[in-house]
Amino acid sequence: MEKNKLTQKDGVMIYVLGFLLLLVAGLLITLIPSNTNLYVYLAFLVPQGAYLAAIFSYTKHKKLEFKLNLAVNAKQNGIKYAYGVILGAGIFFCGLILNYFLKKTYVVLGFDLEITVPVLHSWIDYILSFLLIAVLPAIGEELLFRKTLIDSFSKIGSIKAVIISAAIFSLSHLNPTQTIYQFILGLIYGFVYLKTKDIVITIIAHLVNNCLAFFLSYLTNPLIWQQPKILLFCFLIALPITIFCLYLILKGGKVNNKAEEKINSYTISIIVAMSVLWLIYAFL
């Protein structure tokens, strides 16, 4: 039986379903003491589980097409997976200087910069952190915000689809201190997926970025990454490497930016709703 393509409404409904599942499961997590590693691990596990459950349950119920084409893409893009590793690292080191000055600004504005992460007591904590903080978010978020949303919004024009998916991605974290950086990430990963149609490349880049964001301070002296001169040096080295890597990944890809339909009320509503939630979280 031929399956239907994802539409704007489908993309929004999948996102809403995932968000509702997240809220329900989040209420159950509150029964666990918040000062434990178990609480932190579940806080990372639940959103991704909700996203994946929403994607696969909705597409199966509605008989919608959701192909990953893993084997075919692996043959065509094997070398680009290696570039994805470099891209993820390059974006991270480019972003260090931006995040440094953004944090300084947010402190002045009175934002709470605290992000709860597990305490690494043993090798088990390292493994769980790798799987639940680095691997699972890379898979869940790329499948939802890149593949599902960009495919769903493709008929409004590919460029608009990438921008909207990046906006929803950054707003969904409800973390003002990360919004700008996550929007930039969403744009880059979105264009990579748009040009290659291979979600594995962005999953790899996202995974590397997550690993560096979490483990770098554990594996090195964290004071190093608070020195603007070091961060600027990292930026100057990483920027040309990142640009060249992006060129190697994106070259040859074709993009159909023809707008066959307008942005509908479902899409506008979810952007407005997430913007309101972001504002409530930021200022209340």
Given a cut of 70, whether residue 132 has pLDDT beyond it is yes
C-beta separation of 225 from 96 below 8 A: yes
C-beta separation of 156 from 266 below 8 A: no
Residue 148 neighbours by CB under 8 Å, 6+ apart: 6, 11, 14, 15, 55, 66
Segment 193-203, tens digit of pLDDT: 999 999 999 99
Query: pLDDT tier at 119 (50, 70, 90 boundaries)?
Result: confident
For residues 181 and 100, give the distance between their C-alpha atoms in angstroms, rounded to a whole number.
11
- 98, 130, 14, 192: CA torsion to nearest 10: 50
Report CA-CA distances (Å) from 133 to 22, 72, 187.
16, 28, 21
Segment 203-225, tens digit of pLDDT: 999 999 999 999 998 889 989 99
**Residue range 222-249: mean pLDDT, rounded:** 95
